[in-house]
Chains A and B, each alone.
Chain A
Amino acid sequence: MIPQLPLALRWPRRQRFEHFHAGVNADALAAVQALALEPGAPWVYLHGPAGSGRTHLLIAACQAASAIGRRVQYLPLASLADRPAAIRGVAGSELLALDDLGAIAGEREAEHALFDLYNQTRAEGGALLFAADAIPTQLGLGLPDLRSRLGACTQFALKPLDDAERRDVLKTQAAARGIELDDTVLDWLFARYARDLGALLDLLDKLDQASLAAQRRITVPFLRGFLREAGQAES
């Protein structure tokens, strides 16, 4: 029998401020909200490991700022091909969110372009929001002028949620999709798959479709089979 295909619907991962589980990062959330909504708020530099919510906060800031009519743009530096051109090209926004800043470390052209962008934005009263995996002095930037300017931002270390908080997020997100994830499944996921919330939420999207297609509840055996097929199970 041909398996029934689910509708090609993608659940947008909810990345607004109200979906951000702040935990110990509540101060960072407040500073980013201020930057998104209030012209003249201090520029913010977020740093933290993967899965600590950097991208979420940047997207949420863009969302919130554009909802009140501010012109904003998000720039994921790691995934752009021609970074110097991108950085030189993105004038014209009131708020610019630059993600994965580490991607330009050592790229002379791109570092210079960002230095110019920083100065220009300062002079014109715009706002920048930065996210990276380390503080400015540890990014490996070659241009001291850029490094020191980033150092002047208000800086927040984002800490990943702990296991209990991650469980809560996953359960809530699953519930929003009409799926139930019980503790055995979550135990298994944390032990065998990943602890990074971003990766877990991506998996949840795929699982959601697979369980719809297979018309089965999400159980440990189902999960194991799914991951084996996807080639991602750890032995």
Chain B
Amino acid sequence: MSDLWRRCLERLEGQLSAEELHTWLMPLQAREDASGVQLFAPNSYTLDTVRERYQATIETLLGQLAGQPLVVRLDVGSNAPRAAAPAAKPAPAAARSAGAEPAPAPAPAFVHNLDPHYTFETFVEGKSNQLGKAAAMQVAMNPGRAYNPLLLYGGTGLGKTHLMHAAGNLMRERNPDCKVMYLRSEQFVGSMIEALRTKNMDEFKRRFRTVDALLIDDIQFFAGKDTTQEEFFHTFNALFEGKQQIILTCDRYPKEVDKLEPRLKSRLGWGLSVAIEPPDFETRAAILLAKAQERGVELNESVAMLLAKRIRSNVRDLEGALNTLVAKANFFGRPITTDFAEETLRDLLATHAQAVTVPNIQKIVADYYQVRLQDLLSKRRVRSLARPRQIAMALSKELTEHSLPEIGEGFGGRDHTTVLHACRTIKKLCEADARMRQDWEQLIRILTG
């Protein structure tokens, strides 16, 4: 660091709060030369604020410290030497900041951005996701021919992105020349805006249409973005006609995404759409054991079962609980037992349990079926109320520790046999009726997510 700048920061430390200092000034990097001091901000957001609020103070201070007026120049970038030894900088973020300002290099060679950790081998299969896995494998073995597009849909943190990368990785393994491009939807939007701004749409089109497989994550974020949808529509058509593989993910069945163009929705249905459901208990436990093994952590089955029983929302929450548990066990030098898990994750487990109360279930079910809460709790027995009421009762049995009589009490003083009947009815319906099962799982996801 420039000595002058270090001294300037020390002075500023006495004048500004630590928060201000670390938000705006510490991220700056300085380079001194004969003509003055050049300060590099990591991004233009910081640059603008520094220029507006602090530049004058900095100039005065630096001038005082140097004993002569100094020119202070502000830029976005990094003072890391550009040509010399890029390998010396460990983090990719450093390279990014260095490259943030100059215009992007012309026509870069094709770079794969698949995450190598996401493979089919590391994917834990269960009832909830086996269809999705099978479909993704098929597509990878036979890109552009098996199912096109392949659309994986389901709630957050259930493994859609993992399957998508796994398919891409397998394609590359079977054919190293295969060009697979993975993008999050916002990157697609960002590239398009950039291309429009720089009047470079031809390059944009070429980039996305010359790949062998295009993987776009979370297309629900295309909703309401008309120009993006338009462009994606054309990209889709070009790829489809060229028999290039398209794999997409969405957080729900695309027909249910508002503000998505009908013609796009219809095309999304041309191939195969597979739902990824929240993992069941056994799969959750298996995921935890697999993640622990991946990390070289010893996790016994009873602890995995404890976490799997209590955290049912999504895989990321399981992962977070495992991370926290491992960090604490390492720190305190304690083995991971069920007691230790109960003790260290008490808050976390409590909040997962506490979010689900009978009144909460009633409210969410009423919302879901668009009936009024007071009708749901009333004695009226029309079908449009009776079914949601039975679902709410069954959910109460499934998700809370309340007894049947307590649940009956919570539903306007009904008998416990009524609750029992509701639980049995719903169970049977879920087995027989896909729509019902979907509602049930969606509600569990909402309540436990």
Among B92, B156, B186: residue with most chain A CB under 10 A? B156
Q: Once the chains bind, are A135 and B92 in contact (CB under 8 Å)?
A: no
A42-B323, A152-B316, A157-B347 known; A126 vs B91 contact (CB < 8 Å): yes
A10-B15, A91-B100, A125-B93 known; A152 vs B156 contact (CB < 8 Å): no
Interface size class of A (residues with CB under 8 A): 35 or more
Cα A74 to Cα B25 in complex, Å, equals 10
B379-433: which residues lie under 8 A (CB-CB) from chain A? none
Cα A160 to Cα B231 in complex, Å, equals 53
Cα A90 to Cα B29 in complex, Å, equals 15
Inter-chain contacts of A86 with B (CB < 8 A): 45
Inter-chain contacts of A89 with B (CB < 8 A): 43-46
Q: Once the chains bind, are B324 and A156 in contact (CB under 8 Å)?
A: yes
Answer yes or no: B359 CB below 8 A from chain A CBs.
no
Q: Once the chains bind, are B93 and A93 in contact (CB under 8 Å)?
A: yes
Inter-chain contacts of B314 with A (CB < 8 A): 148, 151
Partner of A73, one of B42, B94, B319: B42
A55-B19, A76-B23, A91-B100 known; A71 vs B331 contact (CB < 8 Å): no
The segment out of A116-124, A174-182, A217-225 that lies at the interface is: A116-124
Answer yes or no: A153 CB below 8 A from chain B CBs.
yes
Q: Once the chains bind, are A145 and B251 in contact (CB under 8 Å)?
A: yes
Question: Could you tell me the distance in whole angstroms from the C-beta of A110 to the nearest C-beta in chain B?
Answer: 14
Cα A90 to Cα B42 in complex, Å, equals 7
Q: Once the chains bind, are B93 and A30 in contact (CB under 8 Å)?
A: no
Answer yes or no: B157 CB below 8 A from chain A CBs.
yes
Cα A39 to Cα B331 in complex, Å, equals 19
B1-20: which residues lie under 8 A (CB-CB) from chain A? 13-15, 18-19
* Chain A residue, CB-CB nearest to B115: A123
Q: Once the chains bind, are B327 and A154 in contact (CB under 8 Å)?
A: yes
Cα A87 to Cα B351 in complex, Å, equals 28
Q: Once the chains bind, are B323 and A153 in contact (CB under 8 Å)?
A: yes
- Beta-carbon contacts of B70-91 to A below 8 Å, as 1s and 0s? 0000001010000000000011
Inter-chain contacts of A76 with B (CB < 8 A): 19, 23
Q: Once the chains bind, are B323 and A71 in contact (CB under 8 Å)?
A: no
Question: Could you tell me the distance in whole angstroms from the C-beta of B84 to the nearest C-beta in chain A?
Answer: 15
Partner of B93, one of A12, A71, A85, A152: A71
Q: Once the chains bind, are A148 and B317 in contact (CB under 8 Å)?
A: yes
Q: Once the chains bind, are B186 and A116 in contact (CB under 8 Å)?
A: yes
Cα A126 to Cα B89 in complex, Å, equals 13
A93-B42, A147-B449 known; A74 vs B92 contact (CB < 8 Å): no
Answer yes or no: B110 CB below 8 A from chain A CBs.
no
Inter-chain contacts of B90 with A (CB < 8 A): 39
Answer yes or no: A149 CB below 8 A from chain B CBs.
yes
Inter-chain contacts of A85 with B (CB < 8 A): 45
The segment out of A58-66, A164-172, A189-197 that lies at the interface is: A58-66
Answer yes or no: A103 CB below 8 A from chain B CBs.
no
A7-65: which residues lie under 8 A (CB-CB) from chain B? 9-10, 12-13, 15, 26-27, 30-31, 39, 42, 45, 55, 59, 62-63
Binding site for B on A (CB under 8 A): 9-10, 12-13, 15, 26-27, 30-31, 39, 42, 45, 55, 59, 62-63, 66, 70-76, 79, 85-86, 88-94, 97, 99, 112, 116, 119, 121, 123-126, 135, 137-138, 144-145, 147-149, 151-157
